[in-house]
Structure 1
Amino acid sequence: MGKTPLSDSEKVDQYIAALDATSQEIVRFLRELFLTSDSEISEHIKWNSPAFYFNGEMAEFDPKEYKRDLAVINLHRGKLLVVFPTGNKIDPQIGLNGKDYPDGRKIVEILNIGHTKELSDKLQSGVKDWLSRVDRNLQD
């Protein structure tokens, strides 16, 4: 008999378990923040990192537009980054500072768990704002 494949959540658990203790604490905190923001947010591993996406019905779109992708938690050169593939859609008045890129990404560097907790309200507001902009138009 073959092994049962891991669920998306189990794959994220496995990823987190391989991190150092400090990174584990931050990633667990962010994971909880994203998943409790809305029931239409799910997780998986994408681009070799924990990623969060909209799991509801959407109008058709080009997959290269990443409209379903909310955020990716990325470890890059010792830095922990939250990458919002379409973060330019998040209202700037929320104050979710980070670096904006011409392709629509917003990247927020996470310094430590204290910094993460300080950002939590802005991150959650950013998630809610992003969700409010999802194109749910299901008409042809």
Structure 2
Amino acid sequence: MAKNNKPASEEQVADYLGKLDHPLKDVVEALREIVLATDTEIGEQVKWNSPSFYYKGEMKEFDAKEYKRDIVVFNLHKKDTVLLVFPTGAVVNDKTGFLEGKYPDGRRMAKFSAIDEVQIKKKDLQAVLKEWLKQVEK
């Protein structure tokens, strides 16, 4: 039986960030730390060619195309913005106004363009993440 030499998810993300050439790399790294520090049930991986965070606890069976396990994915295509995409963000009762957009597929977004915004929006980000975790079907 062949040994799986694929690096662990955390190593994949660390490697990805080590190679990342983005003007807002400090913002990306700070957001990563906040997301992971919010709850031990949040895991990370590289998905859709970007750092991605998911619920790693037990869930009822579901169609993988529903993306119920995915919490937030970084979109780093723009050089002046770090966009956080919450694929199922519509399930969150966001009382903070942190999440933007009303996409029919249930996505919601949050934008960061400077490191000082990370600290200003930290509590709102963590509130949204915790609210998302409450919505998970256990």
- Common fold by TM > 0.5: yes
4+ long deviations beyond 4 Å: none
Q: Structure 2, unaligned stretches of length 5 or more?
A: none
* Match in the other structure for 1:94: 96
Tell me, yes or no, if structure 1 residue 129 matches structure 2 residue 131.
yes
| Conservation of the 8 A alpha-carbon contact between 2:9 and 2:45 | yes
Partner-residue secondary structure (3-state), 2:104: coil
Q: Among all aligned residue pairs of Structure 1 and Structure 2, give the percentage whose two residues are the same amino acid.
A: 41
* Match in the other structure for 1:77: 78
Rounded to whole Å, the distance in 1 between the matches of 2:60 and 2:4 is 36
Alpha-carbon RMSD across the aligned residues, in angstroms, is 1.8
Q: Structure 1, unaligned stretches of length 5 or more?
A: none
With 20-29 and 72-81 compared, the bigger mean Cα shift is at 20-29
Rounded to whole Å, the distance in 2 between the matches of 1:33 and 1:123 is 8
The Cα shift of 1:21 comes to: 6.5
Partner-residue secondary structure (3-state), 2:75: strand
Sort the Cα spacing of 1:72 and 1:14 in 2 relative to 1 into closer, same or farther, 3 A: same
Rounded to whole Å, the distance in 2 between the matches of 1:94 and 1:109 is 14
Deviations 1:17-58 (A, max 9, x none): 122474221111111111111111000000000000000000
Tell me, yes or no, if structure 1 residue 113 matches structure 2 residue 120.
no
Rounded to whole Å, the distance in 1 between the matches of 2:89 and 2:99 is 11
The normalised TM-score by structure 2 is 0.90
Q: Which amino acid aligns with 1:48?
A: N
The normalised TM-score by structure 1 is 0.89
